[in-house]
């Protein structure tokens, strides 16, 4: 049972976890467009690929799947997720399971306006969103919102190009410089993250790990502590099942005056997933069980509270004197 991890980059832990859970039952094969991506050297084998925006990229991935007898494939970066979901049937036609939610759902996740509407449709609280300065100003006049606010791309990831704005002058300047921006309410509350697994066979939510975010770095959780909230577990499980998500999901949310507000859903492993795994929430094992044709039992909240994750920098040293370095 060989598993292909695309765009492994610096996500060493995820690659290590799959190697550990396969335990000799198959290989972990990793790809990246750079041979200086440390995570690929944690895999059994490495395949160098082009950047994802090069024409024919997914065809190259399909070719790797055929040659390496791949059983399942997933990506660790947002821009690649829609590409995989769009070609889901092509993967299935060669016997490969793409670990991804349906295409339309993935596209919704990466459009913040559509995502906000989706939260509302499922009865979930979320921050107010505006796509024009005029609508925002009307809401200000009506007392519905006030500065500071966030201005960000409607479609974007990894917290790129997000600006906190505190004045009309700043707001107009950003809208004059960039297209496809949105205005989002600044949510004054404590941020949390939920690592979620939805069974690939049954569609049931089988695992949820909730963490209180203590510190962020480059859009990812840097320090966090494990917590539980049974009511929130039920809300999340109902939402992801009804929406039709599959596989690994990362949800960002806020506790504002005792109410849960949903911010984003990323249909992939989150950057803080190692916290969940080290607390016993074993999503690689859940996926492997599904690939063997087995459904997973529901183990939501089966971990200890008060366990802290603290990320730190590591280095990898490798002799590459005989290789061309591809950054």
Closest CA to 31 of 21, 19, 39, 20: 39
Q: What residues does 183 pair with on adjacent strands? A: 130, 151
Angle (CA) 243 247 252, round 5° = 65
Domain 2-100 class, CATH top level: alpha beta
Three-class secondary structure of residue 227 per DSSP? strand
pLDDT in tens, 126-171: 999 999 999 999 999 999 999 999 999 998 765 566 889 999 999 9
pLDDT of residue 119: 98
CATH of 188-310, one of 3.40.50.300, 3.30.470.20, 3.40.190.290, 3.40.50.970: 3.30.470.20
- What are the extents of the domains in the chain? 2-100, 128-185, 188-310
Three-class secondary structure of residue 178 per DSSP? coil
pLDDT of residue 140: 95
**Is the domain 128-185 a CATH 3.30.1490.20 member?**
yes
State the Cα–Cα distance between residues 37 and 221, nearest whole angstrom.
20
pLDDT of residue 244: 98
State the Cα–Cα distance between residues 233 and 299, nearest whole angstrom.
11
Torsion sign across C-alpha atoms 109, 113, 117, 120: positive
pLDDT in tens, 223-260: 999 999 999 999 999 999 999 999 999 999 999 999 99
pLDDT of residue 160: 60
pLDDT in tens, 170-224: 999 999 988 899 999 999 899 999 999 999 999 999 999 999 999 988 778 899 9
pLDDT of residue 218: 75
Q: What residues does 260 pair with on adjacent strands? A: 255
State the Cα–Cα distance between residues 261 and 264, nearest whole angstrom.
10
pTM recorded for the entire structure: 0.94
């Amino acid at each position: 049972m060989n598993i292909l991890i695309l765009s492994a980059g610096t996500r060493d832990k995820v690659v290590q976890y799959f190697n550990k859970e396969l335990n000799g039952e198959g290989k972990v094969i990793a790809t990246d467009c750079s041979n200086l991506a440390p995570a690929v050297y944690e895999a059994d084998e490495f395949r160098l690929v082009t950047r994802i925006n090069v024409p024919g990229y997914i065809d190259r991935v399909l070719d790797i799947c055929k040659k390496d007898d791949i059983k399942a494939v997933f990506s660790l970066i947002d821009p690649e997720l829609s590409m995989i979901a769009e070609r889901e049937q092509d993967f299935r036609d060669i016997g490969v399971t793409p670990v991804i939610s349906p295409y339309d759902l993935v596209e919704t996740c990466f459009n913040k306006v559509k995502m906000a509407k989706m939260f509302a449709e499922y009865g979930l609280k979320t921050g107010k969103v505006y796509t024009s300065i005029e609508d925002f100003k009307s809401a200000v006049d009506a007392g519905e919102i006030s500065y500071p606010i966030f201005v960000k791309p409607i479609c974007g990831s990894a917290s790129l190009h997000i600006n906190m704005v505190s004045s009309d002058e700043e707001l107009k300047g950003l809208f004059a410089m960039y297209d496809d921006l949105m205005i989002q309410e600044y949510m004054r509350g404590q941020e949390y993250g939920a690592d979620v697994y939805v069974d690939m066979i049954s569609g049931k939510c089988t695992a949820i790990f909730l963490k209180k975010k203590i510190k962020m770095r480059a859009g990812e959780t840097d320090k966090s502590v494990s917590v539980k909230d049974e009511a929130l577990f039920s809300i999340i499980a109902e939402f992801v099942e009804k929406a039709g998500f599959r596989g690994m999901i990362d949800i960002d949310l806020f506790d504002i005056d005792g109410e849960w507000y949903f911010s984003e859903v990323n249909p992939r492993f989150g950057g803080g997933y190692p916290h969940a795994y080290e607390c016993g929430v074993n999503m690689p094992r859940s996926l492997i069980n599904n690939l063997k044709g087995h459904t997973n039992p529901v183990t939501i909240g089966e971990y200890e509270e008060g366990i802290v994750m603290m990320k730190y920098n590591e280095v990898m040293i490798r002799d590459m004197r005989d290789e061309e370095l591809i950054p």
